Amino acid sequence: MNGDWLLRGRDGRLTVYLPSDDAVLCRAELAPGGPWEPPRRIGGEQRLHAGAAVGQGSDRYAHLVAWRPTVPGESGLVHSTHFRPRLAALDWNPVGHPDKKGERTGTPAVAVDAQGRAHVFVRNKRGGVSLLTQKEKGGWAPWADLGGEDVQDQLAAVTGESGRVELYAAGRGGILHWRQEEPGKRPSSTEGVDVSVRPGTLSALATSAGHTTLYYTDDSGELCAWRPGGKPVTLLTSAGPGPVSAVRCVIEGHDCTVLAQRSASGRVAFAAYPTEQESAGAWWTESGPRLPADARVSLTLDENDQLVAASAAPSTGTLLISRRKDEPGLALTAWREV
């Protein structure tokens, strides 16, 4: 799943969205902090391609986007909304193709603005980025070409504290950035940064009223943080491949950013530092059992704004959960399978 796949719903229950063969599966807590329901299929019986995306708005509705096969040699994008963890999601609804028709062009990314409108970003056949925006009163605006060149497959979409949507992409010459200057307006390209980026390592987080922070791994294996308008900062050596999961939480009275990643050893590595203060330094601490190579990690806050971590491996179907203990520092409970 592209995006944070461990989410807290409006009723306080946690939900995970997991890829499985030709579907997206959902699991939710039966009650906040309680047992979990068995996996169930999202959006009906529509067969999907791999590489779905999920995003969540301030209303805590989840928006999911995936590719589906249409006619031989062609695919189209579909969208579903999941309003509450225990309710069934809406059926998959076709939303088109960035090039009108053709095969898959890239993994989509989803962000939701303050008005609850989903913004779907996907690479197009020209190597740039296309945008599909949901209308506030239903339906979708026409596809828009945002430009870009030689954009890598993975995109990182994020909603700032202002409720405006931003997008990061790795392309020719480094990182590209688009931002909404006003609510409801098309995101426009801003100044990027010329850096090396390992493919598939982008993730973004809203870190203050005026900034979002992009995390990526450079060609030397260092995990870096960049906020548009500033210079990239090397934070620490990446624990393993793939993107980090990031969330803000209060630790001993301080606004901190917590990062998690499956490490090269196969365990989950955590790091924390004061939000937007990368100069304070950070270091990894590994936790839990060794996980399969395809395992990924996601972080969120529960109904009490306490840290929760989930790890899932599509190859085994195993879902593990760990929560922050009620004690100083970033101590976590033992991982348990649910």
Global pTM value: 0.96
Same domain, 141 and 224: yes
Total number of domains in the chain:
2
Contact at 8 Å (CB) between 96 and 77?
yes
Same domain, 63 and 83: yes
Q: Which domain holds residue 311?
A: 246-338
3-state secondary structure the chain: CECCCEEECCCCCEEEEEEECCEEEEEEECCCCCCECCCEECCCCCCCCCCCEEEECCCCCEEEEEEEECCCCCEEEEEEEECCCCCCCCCCEEEECCCCCCCCCCCCEEEECCCCCEEEEEECCCCCEEEEEECCCCCECCCEEEECCCCCCCEEEEECCCCCEEEEEEECCEEEEEECCCCCCCCEEEEEECCCCCCCCCEEEECCCCCEEEEEECCCCEEEEECCCCCCEEEEECCCCCCCEEEEEEECCEEEEEEEEECCCCCEEEEEEECCCHHHCCCCEEECCCCCCCCEEEEEECCCCCEEEEEEECCCCEEEEEEECCCCCCCECCCEEC
Same domain, 45 and 56: yes
What is the identity of the amino acid at 98? P
Same domain, 275 and 218: no
The answer to the question of residue 41 being in a domain is yes
Say what the pLDDT of residue 136 is: 85
Say what the pLDDT of residue 297 is: 97
Q: Where is the domain boundary, 221, 245, 269?
A: 245
Exposure of 81 in the CB half-sphere (CA atoms within 13 A): 15
Say what the pLDDT of residue 132 is: 98
Say what the pLDDT of residue 164 is: 96
Same domain, 20 and 105: yes
Same domain, 235 and 322: no
Dist. CA 332–CA 312, nearest whole Å = 17
Q: Where is the domain boundary, 245, 280, 296?
A: 245
Q: For 198-246, how does the pLDDT look when each residue is reduced to its tens digit (9 = 90+)?
A: 999 999 999 999 999 999 999 999 999 999 999 999 999 999 999 999 9
Same domain, 235 and 111: yes
Same domain, 173 and 303: no
Same domain, 256 and 239: no
Same domain, 206 and 326: no
Sheet holding 129-133, edge to edge: 109-112, 118-123, 129-133, 144-147
The answer to the question of residue 1 being in a domain is no
pLDDT less than 50: residues of the chain: none
Same domain, 231 and 255: no
Q: What is the dihedral of CA 143, 147, 151, 155, to 10 degrees?
A: -50
Q: For 25-40, how does the pLDDT look when each residue is reduced to its tens digit (9 = 90+)?
A: 999 999 998 899 999 9
Say what the pLDDT of residue 137 is: 83
Same domain, 158 and 232: yes
Residues across the chain: 338
